[in-house]
Amino acid sequence: MLMSREVINLEHLFRPPDWTMWLIATVIHFGLSVMYAAIFSVIAARLRIRDFWLPPAGLGFGLALYLINMYGFTFVMPWFALVRDGITIAAHAVFGLCLGLTVWANTRPNAPLLPI
C-alpha cells in the first residue's frame, strides 16, 4: 500500500529479501489487524452476537474483508489484483475465524481479558 506496485514486481522474486519491505509490510498488517479486530468487536457487541455465533461471524467478517481488500481497494491500488488467490482467501478466513474465537473466549464467564 505504501510502497506501490514495485514491491510485487516479478524481478523481486529472484532477489534476496528486502528487510525494509518486510518490516513495513508487517507493521501495516499488524496495524490493520488491530483496527479490524476493534471494528469486529464493536459490531459483535452492537449486534449482540454471542457464544456459538461469534466464530462463524468472524469467518464471515474475514471473508468480507477479503472482498473489500481485493476488489474494493483494487480501484485505488490496481496491483492488489495480482494477489487474488486461494492463499489470500484462506488467510483472510483464518484471520476472521481466529478473531471470532478470540472474542468468544473473551466474552465467556471469568474471561481473562476485559469484557466488550
What's residue 39's pLDDT?
A: 96
Task: Judge whether 95 and 66 are in contact, CB under 8 Å.
Answer: no
Task: Judge whether 108 and 55 are in contact, CB under 8 Å.
Answer: no
Give me the helices (H) in 2-116, please. Answer: 19-46, 54-67, 86-106
Q: What is the pLDDT of residues 7-23, one digit of tens each?
A: 555 555 556 666 777 78
Q: pTM here? A: 0.79
Residue appearing with cell numbers 492463499: 87
Q: What is the pLDDT of residues 106-115, one digit of tens each?
A: 887 776 665 5
Contacts of 82 (CB under 8 A, 6+ apart): 8
